[in-house]
Chains A and B, each alone.
Chain A
């Protein structure tokens, strides 16, 4: 499976490219830009990569991908900063980091959270990269045996698991997933070409825009909520000294196992096309919460709750290159853009790229590793700088955030309709926050809904209308069985809980 001698030769080829001045320069530019767009909520990775893509036309393909990929994984480092300090996900994939990162910041442990997530990102990236380097061909072959049925069932499992295991109230989460799935119906039906819920608006043909929806639900309600509070009651964040940024021995002891578990989960989900960092972070969070001695700590600043998802996200970003580079199947929109760059440069993904073009594949692997090292250096000495963002008066910060959100939404496709959509969903999101409905399951349902529908309907065509196809295929059947078990477990534990509380109140 892995040939050690060949690996050394390949790594040597990779280093030969990655240590050139050109590669180092563009890698540094990429990761620094990534940090910036990651930190600024409202400017998404996708918009940043798309905006910078024309600039890479005059570069060679390896350098172009190395720089744009740097934006992607750099943004994943930066994204957690906004999640922790402002409870605003800098990128969609760092939404889970808000759950425990923000409570940590509120408890005066922002520095510790930032240090832990930076190290988590680094560990996740390096382990993900190792997977990419060692297992690209075998893993590509494994995900190749996935059919539409498997994708449908796996996504179903992802949704059910995320709702049942991560949410404070699983029933509310499942309701939000359903709302998300419903919103995902908007747009052209891929099977018949019919327009669904588009109300004659061309802007809705491709569905509701994800960036506008995510920023509307996650970004703006927090601004509204904070603005609604009076200036007197708002507590200013305490100044963070360098000493307080250093995690204690107990923090490291609690973090290292989640690092490894998160990396593993991320590596697997990243390698499967169609899933990726987002599901990986939810799964990683769910696993930590499940196996923890005291799950009630989660949501209140648990070290495990920030460590594992961050590692998972970064590992997933690295292994997401496996299907993109080996099959030409991008796992998400950013990967699709990178695939587009490869096509510009006449590079066809496939075994031809991985084994036929070692300078490119191994050059990228080594450049990614160096890029992560640069990010580590960028983040740890500069960590204090990011914390200081919190002491900017809200009256200055929030208008800036609203402007950044609007620029980010508009930059995706220069559509004013998207700005209206972001405002509508900001109101919806604020209402959800008041009613304590979480937006994360909604977003997941919204993203996975169209993919699930597509795979479901394709499976039904392939089976000539027989739904048994989903359970007859062993892998797909096991995913669905896991869903069923989770739901049974949810109902049983709910009945028990109610039974207990009745006894308690009777006593």
Chain B
């Protein structure tokens, strides 16, 4: 019975391959709608950006670009669904930093980061250290001084092992030589609210939520993890300015296909995606405070991302995070 099904499936697959064979060339691509898999539920920050970019991409490609939300399993369900689809460029994944981090933090992710090839970068967002106004220290130096004098006394919000917020907090602790107590939250919203209420002292948040809270005086922002100050929030000093050179990094967002996708198809997709990300329509609708669209080339991003991956890997080894 099983064999019959397998044989039938194989025959069908072979027939499909034959039928599609002439179309698997760049000049003919795409012949049918392209699916962009978003490994998060509809309405989240990633989904929103994916939809805006997908809409512009379909204009560039002259084909529908459909968003398919495949959430769950710590985004592994979406990631694996892309690897199970044929390497024909019709299935693209729109994901953020976790696509690189999961193989490092997860015991059984079912893929390696090398299984994916970059189509195009979307943008990068640094994190910002949001601190309760009553926590001692109005500058990074004062805060670090206090933390050194009272090891483990300050509570730092965390979203769980191996996330960017967690790893950036660890980078800061390492760079400053301090010890903080890690307190887990299930989302950035509750963690920031806990900083505001004083339940915890600090949290590595995204700028889009922390900057408005700081404007109301409910948190103080002591440092940002970008290499240079953020254009839209120039008052926040960088960690590097204060001598914590290694506390740099952030979340990035990009599109990938299976690494074994033919190169000409990848380049067609890249051209469309890069043009979409640079279009006015995307810039006007995607610009969230602190999230900067990638202005360099895709190749530059590829190099940046691979370097980033090595840094995360070193972090995870240093703090001794065992893959779960």
Point out residues on A near B: beta carbons under 8 Å. Answer: 50-51, 53-54, 57, 144-148, 188, 190-195, 200, 202-203, 205-206, 327-330, 337, 339-341, 343-344, 346, 348, 350-352, 413-415, 454, 457-458, 461-462, 464
- Report yes or no: A202 in contact with B186, Cβ–Cβ below 8 A: no
Bound together, the chains give a CA A50 to CA B105 distance in angstroms of 30
Q: Which of B210-218, B240-248, B269-277, B307-315 contacts A (4 or more CB under 8 A)?
A: B210-218
Interface string of B142-168 (1 = CB under 8 A from A): 000000000000010000111000000
Given contacts A190-B160, A193-B160, A205-B74, contact A329 B184 (CB under 8 A): no
Residue in contact with B41 in the complex, picked from A148, A193, A351, A413, CB distance below 8 Å = A413
With both chains docked as a complex, state the minimum distance between the C-beta of A130 and any C-beta of chain B, in angstroms: 25
Residues A458 and B184 in contact in the complex (CB < 8 Å), given A148-B199, A330-B189: yes
The docked-state distance in angstroms from the alpha carbon of A462 to that of B181 is 8
- B197–A202 contact, CB under 8 A? no
Of all chain B residues, which has the CB nearest A50? B42
Residue among B71, B183, B324 making CB contact with A461, cutoff 8 Å: B183
Shortest 9 CB-CB contacts between residues of A and residues of B: A202-B73, A340-B43, A348-B212, A193-B324, A205-B73, A344-B48, A193-B161, A53-B43, A328-B189
In the assembly, what is the distance between CA of A246 and CA of B189, in Å?
Answer: 47
Contacts of A195 in B (CB 8 A): 324
List 14 other contacts, CB 8 Å, given A190-B160, A340-B48, A413-B69. A54-B67, A192-B161, A193-B161, A195-B324, A329-B189, A340-B47, A346-B287, A348-B212, A350-B213, A414-B70, A458-B183, A461-B155, A462-B199, A464-B181
Please state if B48 and A343 are interface contacts (CB–CB under 8 Å). yes
Chain B residues within an 8 Å CB radius of A462: 155, 183, 199-200
Q: Do A343 and B72 form a contact, CB below 8 Å, given A193-B324, A329-B190, A329-B193?
A: no
Q: List 12 A-B contacts (CB under 8 A).
A: A53-B43, A57-B52, A190-B186, A192-B161, A192-B324, A193-B324, A202-B73, A202-B74, A341-B43, A415-B72, A415-B77, A458-B183
Query: For window 110-157 of chain B, which residues contact chain A by CB distance below 8 Å?
Result: 155
Structural contact, A191 and B43, CB atoms closer than 8 A:
no
Interface residues of B in 255-269 (CB under 8 A from A): none
Q: How far is the CB of B71 from chain A (nearest CB, A)?
A: 5
The complex places the Cα of A6 from the Cα of B308 at a distance, in Å, of 52
Q: Give the distance in Å from the alpha carbon of A145 to the alpha carbon of B198 in the complex.
A: 9
Nearest chain A CB to B292's CB is how many angstroms away?
A: 15
> B288 contacts which chain A residues (CB < 8 A)?
343, 346
Q: Which residues of A contact B160 (CB under 8 A)?
A: 190, 193
Smallest CB-CB separation from B152: which chain A residue?
A464
Which residue on chain A has the smallest CB distance to residue B155?
A462
Residue ID in chain A nearest B163 by CB atoms? A193
Q: Which residues of B contact A147 (CB under 8 A)?
A: 197, 199
Q: A145 contacts which of B192, B197, B215, B216 (Cβ < 8 Å)?
A: B197
Q: Name the residue among B43, B51, B212, B215 with the largest chain A CB count within 10 angstroms.
A: B43
Q: Which residues of B contact A145 (CB under 8 A)?
A: 197
- B-side interface size class: 35 or more
Query: What is the chain A residue whose CB lies nearest that of B183?
Result: A461
Contacts of A192 on B, CB cut-off 8 Å?
Answer: 161, 324
The interface residues of chain B lying within 8 Å CB-to-CB of A53 are 42-43
Of A194, A327, A414, A454, which is within 8 A of B184 by CB?
Answer: A454
Q: Say whether chain B's binding surface is mostly helix, strand, loop, or mixed.
A: mixed
Q: Which residues of A lie under 8 Å from residue B52 when comparing CB positions?
A: 57
Instruction: Quote the shortest CB–CB distance from A349 to chain B (angstroms).
Output: 8
Q: How far is the CA of A188 from the CA of B189 in the complex (A)?
A: 20
B69: min CB distance to chain A, Å: 7
- Is A188's CB under 8 angstroms from B74's CB? yes
Question: Once bound together, how far apart are the Cα atoms of A414 and B39, in whole Å?
Answer: 12
Q: Could you tell me the distance between the alpha carbons of A50 and B190 in the complex, rounded to whole angstroms? A: 21
Flag if A328 contacts B193 (CB, 8 Å).
yes
**Nearest CB to that of B216 among chain A residues?**
A351
CA distance A457 to B185 in the complex (A): 10
Tell me the minimal C-beta distance from B68 to chain A in angstroms: 8
Q: Do A352 and B215 form a contact, CB below 8 Å, given A192-B324, A462-B155?
A: yes
Q: How far is the CA of A435 from the CA of B46 in the complex (A)?
A: 46
Q: Which residues of B contact A54 (CB under 8 A)?
A: 42, 51, 67
Specify the chain A residue showing the minimal Cβ separation from B288.
A346
When the two chains form their complex, are residues B72 and A205 in contact, meaning their CB atoms are under 8 A apart?
yes
Nearest B residue to A188 via CB reads B74
Q: Which residue of B lies closest to A144 (CB)?
A: B197
A205 touches B76 (CB 8 A): yes
Contacts of B60 in A (CB 8 A): none
A457–B160 alpha-carbon span in the complex (Å): 13
A202-B193 in contact (CB<8A): no
Whether, in the assembled complex, B7 has its beta carbon less than 8 Å from a beta carbon of chain A, the answer is no
Task: Contact check, A340 vs B161: say whether CB atoms are below 8 A apart.
Answer: no
Contact A50 B43 (CB under 8 A): yes
In the complex, the answer to whether B181 meets A461 with C-beta atoms within 8 Å is yes
A343's partner among B69, B182, B208 (CB-CB below 8 A) is: B208
Measured in the bound complex, the distance between the Cα atoms of B104 and A414 in whole Å is: 28
Closest to A464 in B: B181
Q: Among A205, A343, A351, which residue has its beta carbon within 8 angstroms of that of B45? A: A343
Residue of B whose beta carbon sits closest to that of A341: B43
Tell me whether B80 and A202 are in contact (CB under 8 A). Answer: yes
Residues from chain B with Cβ under 8 Å of A457 in the complex? 184
Asked if A458 contacts B185 (CB within 8 A), the reply is yes
Contact of B43 among A327, A329, A337, A346 (CB under 8 A): A337
Closest chain A residue to B198 by CB distance? A147
Cβ distance B321 to chain A, nearest Cβ, rounded Å: 9
Measured CA separation A188–B186 after assembly (Å): 11
B209 within 8 A of A: yes
Complex formed: what's the CA distance from A202 to B80 in Å? 10
Q: B43 to A203, Cβ gap below 8 A?
A: no
B-side contacts of A414, CB under 8 Å: 68-70
Contacts of B82 in A (CB 8 A): none
